[in-house]
Amino acid sequence: MEHRYLGNSGLKISEIAYGNWLTHGSQVEEDAATACVRQALEEGITTFDTADVYANTKAESVLGRALAGERRESVEILTKVYWPTGPGGPNDSGLSRKHIMESINGSLTRLQTDYVDLYQAHRYDIETPLEETMQAFADVVRSGKALYIGVSEWTAEQIRQGHALARDLGISLISSQPQYSMLWRVIEDEVVPTSEELGLGQIVWSPIAQGVLTGKYKPGQPVPEGSRATDAQGGSNMISRWLRDDVLEAVARLEPIAQAADITMAQLAVAWVLRHSNVSAAIVGASRPEQVTDNAKASGITLGDDVMAAIDDALGDVVVRDSSLTGRQTPTSRPT
């Protein structure tokens, strides 16, 4: 497992991170979730990404128990704050000082740790002054409860404003966590150049496009039983946009490219993401330990320019590149 610096900070993270969105505390029973975490550690993965909203705090608790007994200094634990948790009261979401301060304490309790390595704003909060949010993050860092801060699905301009405030407050905003894959490239025109300028690294989620890039979904055929496309708890909503026949036909054209490289489709997808220099890590999830092993093998794979060009030719115009779609990730009001 190779490691990369997170942005221009001195923090190194495993270039493949293990994430438990849509799995721990919901799709996967705890013994299976723990087995996946243990396998991630066995494969050399040291970076674990979660959020308080995943399974309404249950995912953090599962991860905390799964990592219990590990040397704390040997792992990097990342979590996030913004979306509603608890019973959904008026202050149970957003990036107000109240919600951030209460949320970090809850996350640390569930994760069974004194600090997180990276605390991330899960979305931009248009109802809270950015100055209030960044001051609260600064106080979290100064209290020793987080070492660095990051953002998720912020636009280039939001990142620029947040970075300026963080710099004035003397804290390190070092990362962005966007969706990024062969199929979803909306960050390339604006978010990535801004991040490179300011020294932020990308920790990307869904590099395999919720499993579509594994090739298991076939055009004109029913979705496999037990797959994410059948998950009524959220997975089916996220993956549905990729289940068009034109997308699945394009993905099928990737199979001979993976075969020629002697790697799996999933490894091709993860290696493609890691080919980009501003990407510090790709987050992978799993419901079985063998999936962790397969994804981990993408570490260190180098795709040549000819392979990258062949991938672009295979996918053609099904690739989504519209940079304005990042802005649509900002909720128009604080969720309840």
Active site positions, annotated: 54
Q: Nearest-CA neighbor of 136 among 92, 102, 160?
A: 102
Q: Residue 16 CA to chain centroid, in angstroms?
A: 10
At residue 118, what are phi and psi to the nearest 5 degrees?
-140, 125
Structure tokens at 118: 């990276």
Question: What CA–CA distance (Å, rounded) separates 148 from 27?
Answer: 30
Cα dihedral: 116, 129, 197, 142 (round 10): -30
